[in-house]
Each structure stands twice: as C-alpha cells, then as structure tokens.
C-alpha cells in the first residue's frame, strides 16, 4: 500500500507540474511533440531475461541519446532536472540511498535481485507506466486466487491512458534536457501494448531480443522469487508453486502478444515491419559491441568513436556477475526442457531457428 501511495503521489505531482507548465511552454511543446515523435527511437520491448539490460546500458553509452535515470522517474520527479545539474542529481541520489538503508528487508531484497537484474543509474521506463496504474506483472500479487491472472492482465491491457501519461512524462523530461539524437527506453511491459505504443510513438524503432525459453523461464522465476520475499514466504512450497504458476501465465501471455504482433495470418514473420530488428541472446553475449553496431547500421543511426570507447569502458567496469551470480535450474521450479520447448514451439521455430539466428549474426566490428 505504501508503494501504491507513492506512485499515486508521483503521478499527481507530474500532472500538476505539466498542467502549470503548459502556458509557459506553449511555444515549445508543439515543436517538442514533433521532436519526441522523431527522437523516441530505440525500445527494447521483449520479455525480460534476454540480455536487454546489457543491451540497454550499451546503447545508453551513446552521448547523443538519453535513457531515463531511476531518479528521473522515482525521486522528486517534478520539476524535472537536467543530467548536468550535478547538485540536484546528488541530492536525489542521497535520498535514494538513505531510503533504501532505512529498511533491512528492502536492502536484502535489492541485494538478492541484483544478482539477476543488476542495478544501474538508468532504469526501465516501467516506473513511468506504474505511476499511471499500469502493472501487468501480476506475478507478485499476494492474494490466493490463481484464476484471476488472465482477467488481471487483460484489464491492464485496456489501460490506454497509461501511454497518454507516458508520453506526457517523456515530454516533461525532454523539455529540460533533450537528447541530440534519440530517446532510449526499455521495459517488458511494452510487450502487452505494442500497437498502442506505436500509436503514441509512430517513428519508434523497436529492438526485440530472443533467447531459448528453457533458459528464460527458470531465470524469470528465480528473479521473481527473490523479489517476492517481501510478499511471500520463499520457503513455503505453496508460495513457490504460486509464483512459478504465475510466471508461466505471464510468459504465455507475453509470447501470445509477440506472436500476434509479429506474424501474418499465415503464421510467418511479418517482413513489412521495417522499424524492427531482432537480436538473439547468443549473438549479443558473443559480440555485444558488434550487435550494437548492427543495430546502428540497420537503423541508420550515427556511430562515433566516443560511443564505442564508452561501451568498451562500460564492459570493463561491469563484468558479468559483478553484482552477484545468478544461479538457477529447471528442476528447482519443476520444469523440464522438453515440455517448455513443446509449449513454445511456434515462437522458437520463428525466432530461434538456425536460419534466423544466422541472419542476425553481426559482423565483428
């Protein structure tokens, strides 16, 4: 309830600031709207656990783009501040650290989740959508009814106003600190509303990463089990089974939305979508900077030596496992590889077949 109250407060503050600023920015906003429609470029929109956090942080190394900071979305969000405002940025960071240290339970949860979802200054824009009450991640709901999962997520998918708010929020950030080239955003929440996303940002360029789902599903369950420590007793088999079941339901709906969005009536991948690029997890892990180069070539974005150097530095400073090793197995959640492969065979055949993977292999730059 405390988290809901905080989201409501940030939502109301953002709308109030935007309302008061409309007159002040009446000449700026029309041009600003065009700018955002053109500059809201790269979005990692696919399901989590597929290397999107790595890719997101590498893409954010481009000095000409901007990804929202966690503090932009969660700490005193209005009035918005520029990244160059070092004094105000430090004040927000101090608030973040002090609040996390006040709760031993919260600190422990953050440490446990960091092993599977490392924490960085930039974060997913799901925090913007949550302020508007859009939360399709029903996995962590603590009631005992499992039958409401389908209706819950279907209800969330009807909240088109959440993307009205999302655009308003991005405009607000853009009004004080616009990127030279494009905005960079990423959250798995977008997968449930891709058509609506493109209605708000018709010039958006979409990046989808793909990974074998017999690796994704146990990884997802492990992450949610760590995050659920505040709501569930992780040692209780009923709680573990409920979280596992909801992870599967969430995965089912995500894959259903992807297949519906990406395929033609004959079941083949819709090749008419030129604003979209598919990346495989294996290729990303083998050659991360090469994959980013592939993305920039495909979308005709400007590459720079400064950008490439920043990516090399980020990779050296953030080796895999720096914030903890994420360990999980299929068996600990009652899964087996054959069942998962059969359950998601259509998705796998479209996006993870050898021919598709070969076509996505980047050159070694």
- Cβ atoms of residues 73 and 123 within 8 Å: yes
Is 42 inside any structural domain? Answer: yes
What was the pLDDT predicted at 136?
77
Q: What digits encode the pLDDT tens for the residues 312-337? A: 999 999 987 666 566 789 998 999 99
Q: What digits encode the pLDDT tens for the residues 107-126? A: 565 555 655 667 789 999 99
Is 246 inside any structural domain? Answer: yes
When divided into structural domains, the chain yields a total of: 1
Q: What digits encode the pLDDT tens for the residues 5-64? A: 665 566 566 656 555 554 444 444 434 444 444 555 555 555 566 889 999 999 999 999
Domain that holds residue 85: 2-359
What was the pLDDT predicted at 25?
43
Is 365 inside any structural domain? Answer: no
Taking only the tens of pLDDT, the chain with its 365 residues reads 455 566 556 656 665 655 555 444 444 443 444 444 455 555 555 556 688 999 999 999 999 999 999 999 999 888 999 999 999 999 998 888 776 655 555 556 555 565 566 778 999 999 999 998 888 776 555 555 555 666 777 788 888 899 999 999 999 999 999 999 999 999 988 998 898 899 999 889 999 999 999 999 998 888 888 777 766 666 677 778 888 888 898 899 899 999 999 998 888 888 888 889 999 999 999 999 999 999 999 999 999 999 999 999 999 999 876 665 667 899 989 999 999 999 999 999 999 986 555 555 554 44
H/E element, 280: strand 276-280
Is 181 inside any structural domain? Answer: yes
What was the pLDDT predicted at 36?
46
Query: Which tokens sit at 64?
Result: 């000409």
Query: Measuring CA to CA, which residue among 6, 206, 37, 210 is closest to residue 106?
Result: 6
DSSP assignment of 137-197 equals -GGG--SS-STTHHHHHHHHTT-THHHHHHHHHHHHHHHHS--SSEEEEE-GGGGG-HHHH
What are the residues whose beta carbons fall under 8 Å from the beta carbon of 46, sequence distance 6 or more? Answer: 52, 188, 191, 208, 209, 210, 258
Is 364 inside any structural domain? Answer: no
What was the pLDDT predicted at 37?
44
DSSP assignment of 207-248 equals EEEE--HHHHHHHHHHHHHHHGGGTS-TT-HHHHHHHHHHHH
H/E element, 44: strand 40-44
* Cβ neighbours, 10 Å, residue 43: 24
How many angstroms separate the CA atoms of 201 and 4, rounded? 27
Query: Which tokens sit at 365?
Result: 């730059």
Query: Measuring CA to CA, which residue among 261, 284, 296, 302 is closest to residue 357?
Result: 284
How many angstroms separate the CA atoms of 94 and 103, rounded? 15
CATH code assigned at 209 = 3.40.50.300
- Cβ atoms of residues 48 and 188 within 8 Å: yes
Is 82 inside any structural domain? Answer: yes
């Amino acid at each position: 309830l405390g988290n809901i109250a905080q989201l409501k407060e940030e939502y109301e503050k953002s709308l109030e600031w935007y309302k008061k600023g409309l007159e002040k920015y009446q000449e700026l906003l029309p041009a600003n709207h065009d700018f955002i429609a053109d500059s809201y470029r790269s979005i990692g929109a696919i399901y989590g656990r597929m290397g999107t956090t790595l890719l997101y942080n590498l893409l954010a190394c481009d000095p000409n783009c901007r990804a929202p900071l966690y503090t932009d979305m969660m700490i005193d969000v209005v009035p918005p501040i520029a990244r160059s405002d070092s004094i105000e940025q430090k004040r927000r960071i101090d608030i973040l650290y002090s609040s996390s240290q006040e709760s031993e339970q919260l600190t422990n949860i953050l440490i446990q989740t960091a092993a599977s979802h490392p924490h960085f200054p930039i974060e997913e824009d799901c925090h913007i959508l949550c302020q508007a009450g859009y939360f399709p991640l029903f996995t962590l709901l603590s009631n005992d009814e499992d039958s409401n999962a389908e209706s819950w997520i279907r209800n969330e998918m009807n909240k088109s106003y959440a993307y009205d708010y999302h655009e308003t929020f991005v405009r607000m950030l853009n009004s004080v600190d616009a990127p030279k080239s494009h905005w960079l955003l990423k959250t798995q929440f977008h997968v449930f509303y891709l058509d609506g996303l493109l209605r708000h940002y018709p010039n958006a360029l979409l990046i989808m990463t793909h990974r074998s789902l017999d690796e994704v599903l146990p990884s997802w369950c492990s992450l949610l089990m760590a995050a659920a420590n505040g709501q569930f007793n992780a040692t209780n088999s009923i709680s573990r089974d409920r979280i596992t079941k909801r992870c599967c339901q969430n995965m089912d709906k995500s894959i259903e939305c992807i297949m519906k969005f990406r395929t033609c009536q004959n079941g083949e991948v819709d090749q008419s979508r030129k604003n979209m690029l598919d990346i495989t997890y294996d290729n990303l892990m083998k050659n991360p900077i090469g994959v980013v180069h592939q993305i920039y070539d495909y979308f005709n974005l400007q590459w720079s030596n400064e950008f490439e150097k920043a990516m090399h530095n980020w990779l050296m400073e953030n080796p895999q496992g720096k914030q903890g090793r994420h360990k999980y197995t299929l068996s600990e959640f009652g899964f087996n590889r054959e069942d998962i492969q059969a359950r998601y065979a259509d998705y796998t055949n479209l996006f993870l077949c050898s021919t598709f993977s070969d076509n996505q292999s980047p050159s070694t730059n």
